[in-house]
Amino acid sequence: MKFFQESAKIFIPDHLSEPEAFSRTTHLCIVAHHDDIEIIAAQPIIECFQNEHKWFTGVVMTDGRGSPREGTYQHTTDEEMRLIRLEEQRKAAVIGGYSALISLDYPSKEIKDGTKEEPIDDLLQILRVTRPKIVYTHNLADKHDTHVGVALRVIKALRSLDQNERPEKVLGCEVWRSLDWINDPDKVVLDVSSHTNLQHELLGVFDSQINGGKRYDLAAMGRRQVNATFFESHGVDAATGLSFAMDLTPMMEDARLHPSNYINEFIHRFEKDVTDRINRMS
């Protein structure tokens, strides 16, 4: 594959050839930033971990230059931060036993620009060589512009595939906004109760973020426990960790469906649920 950014990198932890690493991929995660993979895709990473029949591949679309930084990293230049974050992401790929890691190295502003076709062309290449069964990306209600930009680029790329090239399922996962608010029938519930040691280790790799002023490790693990505890109000916990996602498969299958209309359906169902409950209790 030849990507638009000359600085784009492919990393294969077990040193298999690129065609072999891509062809064995069953679960593909496409995200904005280094460490987004480990936040949104804990469930497929766990599912594929040390499983010879299932393999996880991650794609990071941006270069990490704009990261906030304090402490040890407060005087780090943008280019130094880019290299640090890339190395951290590679360490996570080794720890998690990923099939491959692809860093497309775009500036964030290019991912947020809906007129840019190059990121979509890159994604099309990746989707066609990996042919995953499930694709994970950001959800459409995320409050981070770059995350929503990635989700929209992923949807556009998926719509450009032939029917026989498309994955079975596309999921939009939570980072910069919990999906606890969507109604339970609309939630895709991902059980992340197992391998908590692996989850901690994957999140802890990103020292530039943790010591740089953002405790994503504590926040992500805490959210998973919170989701599990508050998921069911009238029963004991069936899991110790849950992540939530929304099903974006209809967005891939129906090119006439506008993303804002699709997410508004979730919002309207939530609004109706809240209003109906208040009316019943009044």
pLDDT at residue 128, rounded to an integer? 97
Q: What is the pLDDT of residue 238?
A: 83
Residue 237 has a pLDDT of 78
pLDDT of residue 67: 76
pLDDT digit string, tens, across residues 48-104: 999 999 999 999 999 988 777 777 888 889 899 999 999 999 999 999 999 999 999
Split into its structural domains, the chain has a count of: 1
């130094």: which residue's tokens? 80
- Residue 3 forms part of a structural domain: no
Residue 262 is assigned to a structural domain of this protein: yes
Q: 188-191 and 242-247 as β-strands: parallel, antiparallel, unpaired?
A: antiparallel
Judge whether 47 lies within some domain: yes
Residue 214 domain-assigned (yes or no): yes
Collect all residues with Cβ–Cβ distance below 8 Å to 270 and sequence separation of at least 6.
181, 182, 183
Type of residue at 135:
V
Q: Is residue 1 part of a domain?
A: no
Range of the domain at 19: 9-281
| Tokens matching residue 210 | 């943790």
Q: Tell me the mean pLDDT per 10 residues along the chain, length 282.
A: 95 97 98 96 97 97 82 85 94 98 96 94 98 98 97 98 97 96 97 97 93 89 96 82 98 96 98 97 95
- Give the end-to-end CA distance of the chain in Å, rounded to a whole number: 61
Question: CATH number of the domain that 266 lies in?
Answer: 3.40.50.10320
